[in-house]
Amino acid sequence: MSGHSKWATIKRQKGVDDIKRGLTFTKLSSAIYLAVKNGGGDTNVNSNFRLRLAVDTARSHNMPKETIERAIQRASGKEGGMVEEVIYEGFAPGGVSVIVEAATDNPQRTAREIKNLFSKEGANFGQPGSVSYQFKHVGEITIKKNSKSLEEIFEYAVEAGAEDIEDFGEEVRVYVGLQDAGKVKDKLLDKGFHVVDLKLIRRPIVFMPISDKGKLDKTINFLRKLEELDDVQKVYSNLDVDQQK
């Protein structure tokens, strides 16, 4: 009986994981599509930096090579529906600022879904520009400390062109201008640093803490629900991350 129950649980979980993987691959394909379109149709990862990031991310999620190539071909050709990048802004239930990046072939449908979720969760959907000024679009490079002190890393990072760094225990996040992200990453690699990840993010300029646990839980739940929407690529907020630990 226990064996049967165990198998049923594994089978059920596998079904959930397959669904999540499918949704992830869909989002990754959209990111690749947009990288090609925003890069003027450039399908070369060596000259299209955003495409290189999108492909690297897809590979890190074990996306099959043929699926990646199909997404690139779709963006470079005329077949398939057009995917647009859309950005929404607003305030979560706890009052923190939120930016949602989405990729969609039907902006009206996507806007309706996101607005409905804002309304259902007691959040406030905002107008363009209502919160974006509270964020800065930057490159975020995550590196391993590997016995180096924060002071040493700071000196190397600044010399390479970094704007700021943050300590995350065994790792350090290096923040750079969008145009310098690839160059700074290469310089850090040349210095022998172990680069874990590089991505383009919207970094909050000022963070907002939430002391009330009920409001904090509701805010985090709302942000997770946003991330789970099919068309949503990324969700950013200025919630104080220390409050989530």
Q: Tell whether 110 and 9 lie within a shared domain.
A: no
Q: Tell whether 62 and 120 lie within a shared domain.
A: no
Q: Tell whether 146 and 196 lie within a shared domain.
A: yes
Query: Which residues, in sequence order, are CB contacts of 18 under 8 Å at separation 6+?
Result: none
Tell me the whole-structure pTM to 2 decimals: 0.82
Predicted confidence band of residue 80 (pLDDT cuts 50, 70, 90): low
Q: Tell whether 9 and 68 lie within a shared domain.
A: yes
Q: Tell whether 128 and 210 lie within a shared domain.
A: yes
In three-state secondary structure terms, 191 is coil
Find, among 200, 199, 188, 204, the residue nearest to 143 by Cα.
188
Three-state SS annotation for 98-120: EEEEEEECCHHHHHHHHHHHHHH
Q: Tell whether 123 and 218 lie within a shared domain.
A: yes
For residue 230, what is the domain's CATH number? 3.30.70.980
Find, among 94, 131, 85, 133, the residue nearest to 222 by Cα.
94
CA distance 236 to 203: 8
Q: Which of 34, 52, 76 is the endpoint of a domain? A: 76
Q: Tell whether 156 and 95 lie within a shared domain.
A: no
What is the mean predicted confidence (pLDDT) over 128-148?
94
Main-chain phi, psi angles of 122, to 5 degrees: 75, 25
pLDDT in tens, 32-78: 999 998 888 899 998 999 999 999 989 988 899 999 999 998 888 75
Range with the lowest mean pLDDT among 20-24, 27-31, 114-118, 135-139? 20-24
Rounded to the nearest integer, the mean pLDDT of the chain is 86
Q: Tell whether 102 and 189 lie within a shared domain.
A: no
Q: Tell whether 6 and 58 lie within a shared domain.
A: yes
Q: Tell whether 51 and 7 lie within a shared domain.
A: yes
Q: Tell whether 64 and 127 lie within a shared domain.
A: no
Q: Per the structure, how many domains does the chain have?
A: 3
Domain assignment of residue 233, given as a range = 84-132+206-244
For residue 7, what is the domain's CATH number? 1.10.10.200
